[in-house]
Amino acid sequence: MAEVAIPRPLGGTIARRWSWQRLAGYVAMALAVIIVGTPLFWMFSGSLKTTQEVFAIPPTFLPSSPRWSNYIDAWNSAPFGRFYLNSIIITFFGTGIKLVNAVCTAYALVFLRFPLKNLIFLIILAGLMVPEQVTILPNYVTLSDVFGQSWINTYQGIILPGAAIAFGTFLLRQSFLGLPREVIDAAKVDGCGNLRLMWDMVIPMSRAAIVTVTLLVAVAKWNEFLWPLVITNSDDMRPLTVGLTYLVNRESNTQWGQVMAATVFVIVPLLIVFAFAQRLIIEGITAGATKG
């Protein structure tokens, strides 16, 4: 009689394969942490060093004698209090205008009917392909021609030219497409108008995506450098990112410890925000990812 082959259990093979996959995942995460974390660590460490220690060979990763005075000297070397205030105002109002624009545009593209809607959406997507640097000169010329010098070196001159946001509109549109149509249709049958529908139904159900867009826009506005540098001409209107350049000495006498300490002033608020909102950012980016 022929022997009957008894199949071997696959549990051990699957377990080994799963353990290797987990190990590979942990290794990848460790590499990502090292790649992202090393510049941050070097910046924090350099903010406590002298210029000689920053350029020492071989490099020293920890300061021999931490110079906490670098933070005080950096703060006093330029009007950083005013720079902070300008950055907060620009970020708050710039983010608010962009968010309102993105929500209303995405709502119209999903829930309203009008001619050439798909073409308009394609034009918005095309805006993602235009580098921001390309718009600097046209925006400046437009402000000068329309408003003269009255909008140069002003908050509205910094904020309004960047009020449109293609990426936020795209992300929110994808999120709105994933909302349950039955709930939306039921609200319309009950006589809910577009403004109330957007405010009471669409926005609460898309909270994660809206928070994500808000944070991404806020980070971009906080880190904006080129346009505020071009449109402003006085210290009273310049944000933190432009203020950092005040610490760079053109005669090669830059105190790099103070420069890194000032850079800490810029990035610490963003790190705190991301630490508390990372879950919502991931949810918002993945929301509606499979919708067309």
Mean pLDDT of the chain: 84
Is the Cβ–Cβ distance between 233 and 152 less than 8 Å?
yes
Condensed to tens digits (0 to 9), the pLDDT of residues 111-166 reads: 888 888 889 999 988 888 888 888 888 888 888 888 877 888 899 999 988 888 88
Q: What is the pLDDT of residue 1?
A: 47
% of the chain with per-residue pLDDT over 70: 88
pLDDT digits (tens, 9 = 90+) for 253-275: 778 888 888 888 888 888 888 77
CA nearest neighbour of 168 among 130, 118, 215, 227: 215
pTM (whole model) above 0.95: no
Distances from the Cα of 74 to the Cα of 27, 51, 71, 144, angstroms:
38, 14, 5, 35
Helix residue spans in the chain (DSSP H): 11-46, 51-54, 69-76, 80-111, 117-127, 136-147, 155-159, 166-177, 181-189, 194-197, 203-205, 207-223, 226-231, 240-243, 256-286
Q: How far is CA 245 from CA 80, 189, 239, 242, in A?
A: 12, 58, 11, 6
- Tokens standing for residue 237: 């209107």
54-112 tens-digit pLDDT? 888 888 888 888 888 889 988 888 888 899 999 999 999 999 999 999 999 999 999 88
Given a contact cutoff of 8 angstroms between Cβ atoms, the answer to whether 205 and 288 are in contact is no
